[in-house]
Structure 1
């Protein structure tokens, strides 16, 4: 999956990292210059000019409201601001932003736009409606969980390897001010969670138990042992001694006298107050209006209107189909024993696992080279940006997913990152490496996200917005492409592909089971143990992730099935005229699309090819 970079309240926005600051500002200047010239010449504004100016203004207003998002897309005007995401003022301004721009976009005649801008118009309209619907649910009463934590995200921003720059003295002053905003957020989060307690909108107890050690890990005795002290260790040699001494003194005081005490207060709040009011139910159905809320989350994550019961049924059918395919592999490799015994063998025998963490990382680097050779055969458009393979940082590895992806900066200052969790090597079998690399890196997330960010001639919101169903659906479709690339000729690697596909199919069953059908955490864990060879530690982390971010896990399989259905339709209707590279161009070159908009685009392409 793509790695989230901020708390759940803004995580959906902030994981969509980066363009260059000049790109965004140049686009804005060009649009404004064009409009001024048209006005001076007495020309009536066209629908396309009106639309482009509107969405450009929206994007800039959004950057003001979400300053950390601005940092991630390379606009550094707000690097000194945190953006609380929880205050009444913020919630009001967010509502007004979506309401105002939805009203304004409806004044523009869609029929007067080009085909490409019609898609963009539909995306923009869709986004505003979903955002307004989302506002009707009290997400802000649960501002963090064990999976999306603003604390961890701020550590990552301060690491020097993320979007926050640490090149000048001003950069350091900006981070200091942003930390002050973060300290205010830590206080406000407790206020919101208290309101959640009063409204009975609280986290399950087990998730609270996971958060406490994450916070405790930040409570060091010596300031220079704090991960928030990392920028001091990265200070450029070019800084004067006076600046170095002043910055070090200020950071030491800020971390020691304000940040750590506030983090301690938050840890104590979870440990002594919040946990007593946490809920015994594991799914969203246990919250007020929880089933309606969950149906909304399922629809927003999948960008469909599929009822939860239908999604559950699709999952059950897919699990049965994939189990049958897995059993064929068992027969092919002449394994003596039933499928469960095959699962047990693949999950335990030493030859299927690395013994050293670096060996796992090196193995993925070798796979990268093998896969890259195949890419020109299947794609006309490929990303300019490269990606690197890194282990998940030690401070978050116990709760992190098995793998994840961080987007590159378009200006070339930061490559994409394919993160591998090396905490438990028994959760990273060798037979699962090919499919995982295809999904997270090339041609999966790295291709889709990097290409999207490198697009020209499309509105900024389109380059840096995204939909989980499209992005994760593409990642799972990328695994399917591995079959055609000949990367699964080894039956054990093919089993790895089936195993990962099984995970996505089980998610349809387990996520809906937990949140709509009253399943317990233990019931969900047992279902996954019965139907896959996954390590138990991995299964537990997965189930607790679904508990924390309901509906998100549905998007993988739903998105893949939608893309495969559109490809099948294209092949059937175009026959010999079907070009797989051209089909991939259609999917990748308009950014991330809601499923309905993607279908419209492909249908138009089919008609044009005929």
Structure 2
């Protein structure tokens, strides 16, 4: 490889990264504006997390525990299916199958993923689970909320029920789809844990981690950070392991702007929700907001915002 650093070290790499960010996220903001938004959210999550945990030592012990409930994926999806209608429109039963990744592919695939059904076979939804030991400490509950209900599978099923033109199935808006799945993943902590303070702390922690990776993405691929500069940045947030720093550094070099479609998408949805909530005050209804967002289907966020205000 001629370049083992961020994409900005290539000819026109910085401009290309700006294009990738716009294309992946669907946001109209510049890279530096997005960086500022990410930093603001990171600090907000950090303050919230520590304010919750410092008050209650018992809660802090639960927060740092690596034990996760041992429910089967099928049981988790069934539970999520029974809970999601409190906050999201009910679209009836979704037909799906849970499958497991072949052992030979476990090292190369994510913890779980949803296969979007073919447009002529929309009832054939499949969620794959990766049983690799590398993911044994990962919370499968929130992962299945991301991939299943009310994440990708639910979003896909909702979109299909709007009877969209076939061409819309091939248009890709990563910020909209991955942003939604990230948004509901963070929300699913409140379904998983009865103690809502713990759920809030865990949700902020997940958001905080993804914000750090997103800032590394911008730092390495747009600002040209070296590995040492990346390590120094992560050290400020108590991430010091050489292996994890190398992993983050290499991951964002391999897939520039990938983290941003998840996190910027999440931030755009959150900002939209807060804007509508501020405008409507006590008349704001979370389920109606989710319905308005899902009804338009995949699009850039300027278009989504116009649609949402038409909806209201």
Superposition TM-score, scaled by structure 2 size: 0.83
Deviations 1:455-488 (A, max 9, x none): 31x2112134231111111112213443665746
Q: Distance in 2 between matches of 1:403 and 1:333?
A: 33
- Please tell me whether the aligned partners of residues 114 and 128 of structure 2 are also in contact (alpha carbons under 8 angstroms): yes
- Alignment match, 2:42: 319
**Alpha carbons of structure 1 residues 451 and 353: separation in structure 2 relative to 1, 3 Å:** closer
Higher relative contact order (CA 8 A, sep 6+): 2
Partner of 1:419: 129
Corresponding residue for 2:53? Answer: 330
The residue that corresponds to 2:25 in the other structure is: 302
Query: Per-residue deviation at 1:588?
Result: 1.0
Of 125, 143, 146, the residue aligned with 1:439 is 146
- Kept in 1, the 8 Å contact 2:46–2:205? The answer is no
1:406 equivalent in structure 2: 115
Is 1:477–2:183 an aligned residue pair? yes
Check the 8 A contact 1:435/1:479 in 2, yes or no: yes
Greater CA radius of gyration, 1 or 2?
A: 1
Please tell me whether the aligned partners of residues 473 and 558 of structure 1 are also in contact (alpha carbons under 8 angstroms): yes
Distance 1:437 1:464 in 2: 24
The Cα RMSD (Å) is 3.4
Q: Choose the corresponding residue for 1:452, options 141, 149, 159.
A: 159
Using a 3 Å threshold, how does the CA distance of structure 1 residues 490 and 568 change in structure 2: closer, same or farther? closer
Deviation, 1:447, is 1.3
**Structure 2: gaps (5+ residues):** none
For the Cα contact (< 8 Å) 2:172–2:298, is it kept in 1? yes
Task: Pick from 397, 401, 405 the counterpart of residue 106 of structure 2.
Answer: 397
* C-alpha distance 329-568 of structure 1, shift in aligned 2 (>3 A): closer
Q: Which stretches of structure 1, 4 residues or longer, exceed 6 Å deviation after superposition?
A: 532-539
Alignment match of 2:94 (pick from 379, 385, 390): 385
CA contact (8 A) 1:383 1:450 kept: no
Indicate the SS of the match to 1:518. Answer: coil
| Corresponding residue of 1:153 | none
CA displacement 1:408-458 (0-9 Å, x = unmatched): 3462563231434523145x34xx3443332222111121123223431x2
Q: Which moved more, 1:576-585 or 1:561-570?
A: 576-585
**TM-score normalised to the size of structure 1?**
0.45
After superposition, the C-alpha distances for 1:208-246 in whole angstroms (9 at most, x for unaligned) are xxxxxxxxxxxxxxxxxxxxxxxxxxxxxxxxxxxxxxx
Decide which moves more: 523-532 or 289-298: 523-532
> Equivalent residue for 1:15?
none
CA distance in 2, matches of 1:537, 1:399: 18
Contact 2:296 2:304 in 1 (8 A): no
Q: How far does the alpha carbon of each residue in 1:552-592 deviate from its partner, in whole angstroms, 9 at most, with x for none? A: 21122222222222222323333454333222221112321
User: Shift of residue 368 of structure 1?
Assistant: 1.9
Report SS of the residue matched to 2:89: coil
Shift of 1:314: 2.3
Deviations 1:122-148 (A, max 9, x none): xxxxxxxxxxxxxxxxxxxxxxxxxxx
Aligned to 1:292: 15
Work out the CA distance in 1 between the residues paired with 2:13 and 2:52.
41
Separation in 1 of the partners of 2:99 and 2:231? 29
**Aligned equivalents of 2:228, 2:156: Cα separation in 1:** 35
Equivalences for residues 120-135 of structure 1 within 5 A: none
- Residues 416, 352 of structure 1: alpha-carbon distance in 2 compared, 3 angstrom cutoff: same
Name structure 1 gaps, 5 residues minimum: 1-277
Kept in 2, the 8 Å contact 1:378–1:581? The answer is yes
* Number of aligned positions between the proteins: 311
Deviations 1:74-102 (A, max 9, x none): xxxxxxxxxxxxxxxxxxxxxxxxxxxxx
Q: How many angstroms does 1:284 deviate by?
A: 0.4
Select 1:501's aligned residue among 207, 212, 228.
207
Within 1, Cα distance between the matches of 2:134 and 2:31? 33
Report if aligned partners of 1:407, 1:417 keep a CA contact under 8 Å in 2: no
Deviations 1:243-298 (A, max 9, x none): xxxxxxxxxxxxxxxxxxxxxxxxxxxxxxxxxxx134420011111111111111
